[in-house]
Structure 1
Amino acid sequence: MEKSLLLCLLLFTAYGYVLAHYNSPEPLVSTVSKNPILPIFTFTLNTNEEFFIHIGGPYIVRKCTDGLPRPIIPCGSPACATTRRVNPYQCPPTQNTIINGRCACKATVFEPFQRICNSDQFTYGGSLSMSTLNPRSPSVTFNNLYYLCIPKPFLRDFPPVVFGLMGLAPTALAGWNQLTPPRLGLEKKFALCLPSDENPTNKGAIYIGGGPYKFRNIDARSMLSYTRLIKNPRKLNGYFLRLKGISVNEKPILLAQNAFDFDDKSDGGVTLSTVTFFTTLRSDIYKVFVEAFSQATSDIPRVKSTTPFEFCLKSATTPFQVPRIDLKLADGTIWKLFTANSMKKISADVSCLAFVNGGDTAEHAVVIGMHQMENTLLEFDVGRSAFGFSCSLGLVNASCGDFQTRL
């Protein structure tokens, strides 16, 4: 048995424990779904409102279509000043507005699919409720949260059931921070298990405020390896990792020593995204990586490429397996990507390498996309600047749907 699989199995069994007597504050939890129309992940608030998960969004965005006036946040307030610090770098600085003779704060959201900026009133009020794992207190309601109010339908191509955007960036006004007030005693973190797209009925889970992450009556925190989150001074809304190398079939690919570093303009670096479908590599990295992968799969027949992929293989055998891809992180941890996360099945007998060429002038060296995150437990411990990741749950014959969001 491969060492990494054996390690994952040992972690799964040796450190798991029944959580019936866990006395820590209960985290907030909800089921995650992959939308069948657009490749986005959503979860439920207020029992019937779906919110789009965006780990690069600096705050909560809600549709405001009732035409009612909203409370004004003064232009000179600390909350308004915070929105200026986390204004999406893709968008111009936001200009405030005048409402009833008062200067009212406006904020901007960047729509990642059409790549447009949308500004409107930044406000507070209303309520949002979210489930917990505590049977004695099955939900918690939050009042007077700060949010960006978009009166016209936000993200016009989104399905009608998507009520808003839950920004989960490492910012003061992000959803995870507003939903973990001191009174609840929760940790400043959130965790995601994004369902695989192979079956549109698959479900996942989101936890806000820490563990336990209930997985077949064990605590799945035991499955996590950790690395440090680093900051990008110009892009405060992103989660960045320090990547030292990529290996294919345990052989490092040959790259410049600083290939993954930020440059003097804060471009480059390695980030994570829930709005990027497949991991994207800058051209200099991508070309070397694909060449190494090509050599490691020389015994598998090639087939014609399929947009957006450039490297595709005949996958007639069952099960179809390709060499493992390792992302070697700065502190010695390794994020291992097996076939389910490294390949995308296109048809019954064709699978493509699920990595995309970002071009010579790509904004980042590497953007780790949704496909590589699926069916893996990911913890964003913002309070401790740490990122935790499990092995692929498929290695233990499990899926994100095995996480418990109800007792």
Structure 2
Amino acid sequence: MPNNHIKRLVPRTIASLVSLVLLLLPCMVATADQQPPYKPLVVPLVRESKTSTSLYTIPIKNDESLVVDLAGSLVWSTCRSTHTTVPCNSATCSTANQQQPRRCRYVDGGSFWTGREPGSHCSCIAHPFNPVTGECSTGDLTTFSMSANSTINGTMQLHPETFTAVGTCAPDRLLASLPASVTGIAGFSNRPLSLPSQLATQRGFGKKFALCMSQFVAFGEMPVYLAMEGRRFVDYRDILPYTPILTNPRRRNDGYYLPVKRISVSWSEPETPASLPAGALAIDARTGLGGVVLSTTTPYTVMRHDVFRAFAEAFDTAIVRRSKYDFSNVTRHPPVGEFKLCYNGAFPMRKRPASMDIPTIHLEMEGATGTWSWYNDNYLVFVPGAICVGVLEMGQDGMPVDGEPAMVVGVKQLDWNLLVFDLEKMVMWFSGDLSFRLAAILSLALLLQCILTTADQPPSKPLILPLVRDTKTSLYTISINKDDSPLVVDLAGTLVWSTCRSTHTTVPCNSATCGTANQQQPRRCRYVDGGSFWTGREPGSHCSCIAHPFNPLTGECSTGDLTTFSMSANSTTNGTKPLYPEEFTAVGTCAPDRLLASLPASATGVAGFSNRPLSLPSQLATQRGFGKKFALCMSQFVVFGEMPVGLGMEGRGFVDYRDTLPYTPILTNPRNPNGGYYLPVEGITVLWHGASAAASLPRVALQIDARTGRGGVVLSTTTPYAAMRHDVFRAFAEAFDAAVEKGRYTTYGDVRRVPAVEPFKLCYGGPFPFLKRPATWDVPAIYLELAGGATGAWPLFNENYMVQTPHGMCVGILEMGQDDDGGGAPVIDGEPAIVLGLKQLDMNLLVFDLDKMLLWFSGELSFRLASCVSPFW
């Protein structure tokens, strides 16, 4: 069983789950006597976006990539002129030649097998097949050297391991239509010489594999989990439905068939079934025709004519039913290219996940424990002037795969799914689009290819733990206390504080630590017992140190004993070795329960993250010697110390944050050193469709006044929305209005200001256009122009400021001076010109180096088609 004392890392819910190639090392380490040594393997699964088919690849052939073909019976690749061969009279050769493609175009122009007699020489000849082009060839059967990450039992430390697999050589010409970087194909079928079958035989872990599209492939019984909001880790078997897997009895196709018995479409109203006769989707046992088969080499689902016509009628009916009472201007659009079902009009928008609200397609399967539902990104295709359904009608050339199935489920429908195959039981677990489960996938293993480091790194012993966004308050919390009680993250906080037991340690009043704590008193606050702050209390009035916890949400403060808190987090020797739980202490102050007002219900206090000596990052840096560095991936994880952190970027794998993100100097308020992290912002620009509008502000309007400490632009994790001083807000509002006015004429002419919806002042109505990637509303971008040697502007895209209300789209940037109930007036000391709040920091990667006073920033990660990655995430 896993070690339950180790903290578990729980990532952010994924409207934002974009292409990753690195995964989480275990938060749960099992001992060798707990599980059998079946040595599973894990490799990245990368979606190649440049090919027209969006194929999935794995870098398993000594870092050369092979395309994943679920119906492929062999492994094949180009070969060197000198390579090993397999004897023609061997059992392996006989197996390979039982798996010849039934139909193909021979790449040298002749008929398949023409002029070549089986066994014509004693090096075995096999038959590689390209499922994208339908071409085939002949080539020597050989053995390929491969490598992947292995682990003793799926949870212990990973290590690269080399092994061999039987496959066939192929000419370069057979690579046509495959991604430029690949050298062949890895068949994933249930046939004896497919890659999963060979690995199962060699390693004895059974014929099991998991595909998390597009994150990883796991071969064997590797623990795989869904990380779900509010539920932490959930084993896929405990929550996902499964379906039997069928085999074509006539072996017309080596793929995996599903027992689909019905297709229906729903859109708020009850499901509309496709009108199909019983058995229309079944495999014909006599001919092998028909059935529903999975394909990772077909870009979109393709349906036989009769099936498509019934499906199209059901989809249209669902649209019409909903449009009668909701959005009557959603209408059919003429077909666009290969897409027959296209629509235009103002579809509504979902709040969670943030995506268009469109019909859901359901596949009901015989003997399954649930329905496979296709949501937004699993079929929606954006084309100029319309939105189309990525489900196609069979063309004149027939089906794109052998066997003439009734329906081929393609790559578009498999994206963002977790599929777990158990070929011994012939069942498959399936998730549907993970963003609609508000979940992410974790494998308790780390993919080392991109980040393997040597053991000679300094023992900096960094820490990593989850950063969780509380859905009711939008505050970020970390469960770092030993009892797992969460603390709210406060970037401007100078202390750690929490409620305490009646018996707790204290710090002497004459100690240096006590002196430091009392240099960090809040400048202004409301004392929770009703008196004035510090009134009637003399410093050092008794010899247990008294400190001053402060609630940044309510502006209240109190007094309490300075104490030490027992804490624990996941530690690692050098940032790449296995995680293990480690306990430590941090100095903080006790606080009364009343000071918890407005914090999340489960929180017991606040963890200050400022640059002051008793903040949590400062204390950990001093204790552990890794420098004053920390990273916040909102809301996935917090890293303390120099642990590798980067971006998982489509087509690029792991990219170190220093190689791709801009950075800015961090400023300190000279009159209020306790006041948080300031940015050297010198201007604000709004951009939309080439139309640019700058806020008309004096040059010094956003600077900190060195004499008074007022002004400046400060970060806050305890303020819900950005707030601007009156003069700054008015200039920004004029710029935003101007950008909308200029930019709307290139899109839709009726985007217009509408009455404000409290607490927001800037609201707009009308059909904003929709972006294709990322799939979200196309709205203006706001840029904070940074000075002082910054290497880029800080962007605020869609989700970092736009708020959907029942009466329009509002800008989540407020004017200071509103009442607290409206959420507009941040409790920020120092009277800054701008406070950047939680809305503006969501879905960002922020890396602080307080030794150099630099901050790396990403902007909204979905607009980089990326997500945060660390070796343990």
Q: Kindly provide the CA deviation profile for residues 106-152 of structure 1, in whole angstroms up to 9, marking residues without a partner as x.
A: 1112212222122211122x420111355544222113x21111243
Aligned to 1:84: 518
Cα contact 1:260–1:268 (8 A) shared by 2? yes
- Cα deviation per residue 1:171-217 (whole Å; 9 max; x = unaligned)? 000001112235x341211111223xxxxxxxx21111133115447
Larger Rg: 2
Alpha carbons of 1:224 and 1:139: their partners in 2 closer, same or farther (altered >3 Å)?
A: farther
- The 2-side partners of 1:305 and 1:285 are apart by 18
Within the candidate set 229, 243, 253, 2:666 is matched to: 229
Residue 337 in structure 1 maps to residue 774 in structure 2: no
- Residue among 267, 270, 288 paired with 2:731: 288
Partner of 2:502 in structure 1?
67
Number of residue pairs matched by the alignment: 376
Find the aligned partners of 1:112 and 1:164 in 2 and give their Cα distance.
Answer: 11
What residue number does 2:811 align with? Answer: 353
Q: Deviations over 1:208-238 (max 9, x none)?
A: 1133115447233433211111121232221
Note the residue ranges of structure 2 that are not aligned, 5 or more in a row.
Answer: 1-18, 20-45, 47-448, 526-532, 745-750, 771-775, 819-824
Residue deviations 1:330-371 (CA, integer Å, cap 9, x gap): 124311222221312224x72111111014999111111111
CA distance in 2, matches of 1:395, 1:356: 24
- Kept in 1: contact 2:506–2:544 (CA 8 A): no
Distance 1:84 1:390, change over 3 A: same
User: Which whole-Å CA distance do the structure 2 matches of 1:138 and 1:214 have between them?
Assistant: 22
Deviation at 1:394, TM superposition (A): 0.6
Assess if the C-alpha contact under 8 Å between 2:552 and 2:718 holds in 1.
Answer: yes
| Distance across 1 between alignment mates of 2:794 and 2:601 | 36
Instruction: Give the corresponding residue for 1:369.
Output: 837
Q: Secondary structure at the match of 2:543?
A: strand
User: Using the alignment, how far apart are the partners of 1:222 and 1:93 within structure 2?
Assistant: 49
Residue 36 (structure 1) aligned with residue 36 (structure 2): no
Q: Which residue of the partner structure matches residue 191 of structure 1?
A: 631
Find the counterpart in structure 1 of residue 709 from structure 2: 266
Q: Distance in 2 between matches of 1:340 and 1:315?
A: 18
| Residue equivalent to 1:314 | 765
1:140 equivalenced with 2:582 (yes/no): yes
Cα distance in structure 1, aligned partners of 2:600 and 2:679: 32
Residue identity matched to 1:181: T
Q: How does 1:234-273 map to 2 (within 5 A)?
A: 234-237=671-674, 238-249=676-687, 250-263=692-705, 264-273=707-716
Equivalence for 1:3? none
Equivalent residue letter for 1:270: V
Q: Tell me how far 1:93 sits from its aligned partner.
A: 5.1
Alignment equivalent of 1:177, drawn from 612, 618, 631:
618
Q: How does the TM-score come out when normalised to structure 2?
A: 0.41
What is the deviation of 1:162?
Answer: 1.0
Q: In structure 2, the residue corresponding to 1:114 is in which secondary structure? A: coil
For 2:862, what is the secondary structure of its paired residue? helix
**Separation in 1 of the partners of 2:608 and 2:737?**
38
Deviation at 1:26, TM superposition (A): 4.7
What are the Cα deviations for residues 16-58 of structure 1, in whole angstroms up to 9, with x where unaligned?
Answer: x811226453521111111122221112223722111011110
Residue 139 to residue 214, structure 1, CA distance change in 2 (3 Å): farther
Q: Aligned pair in 2 of structure 1 residues 255, 205: CA closer, same or farther (>3 Å)?
A: same
Instruction: Work out whether residues 667 and 678 of structure 2, in 8 Å CA contact, stay in contact via their aligned partners in 1.
Output: yes
Conserved? CA contact 1:31–1:405, under 8 Å: no
- Please tell me whether the aligned partners of residues 97 and 103 of structure 1 are also in contact (alpha carbons under 8 angstroms): no
**1:181 counterpart SS class:** helix
Q: Secondary structure at the match of 2:486?
A: strand
CA distance in 1, matches of 2:462, 2:591: 29
CA RMSD between the two structures:
2.8
> TM-score under structure 1 normalisation?
0.84
Contact 2:693 2:736 in 1 (8 A): no
Pairing 1:206–2:206 present: no
Residue of 451, 471, 474 corresponding to 1:19: 451
Unpaired segments ≥5 residues, structure 1: 1-8, 196-203
Task: Please give the per-residue CA displacement for 1:153-179, whole angstroms capped at 9, x wherever unaligned.
Answer: 541343442122111011000001112
Alignment counterpart, residue 129 of structure 1, candidates 568, 574, 588: 568
* Amino acid of the structure 1 residue aligned with 2:599: F
Aligned partners of 2:499 and 2:593 also within 8 Å: yes
For residues 28 and 398 of structure 1, what CA distance do their matches in structure 2 show?
23
Contact 1:268-1:366 within 8 A present in 2 as well: yes
Corresponding position of 2:544: 104
Paired AA for residue 344 in structure 1? V
| Inter-partner Cα distance in structure 2 for 1:211 and 1:96 | 44
CA gap of 1:63–1:47, structure 2 versus 1, over 3 A, is: closer
Q: Are residues 1:378 and 2:846 paired?
A: yes
Deviating runs (4+, > 6 A) in structure 1? none
Identity %: 27
Residue 323 in 1 paired to residue 780 in 2? yes
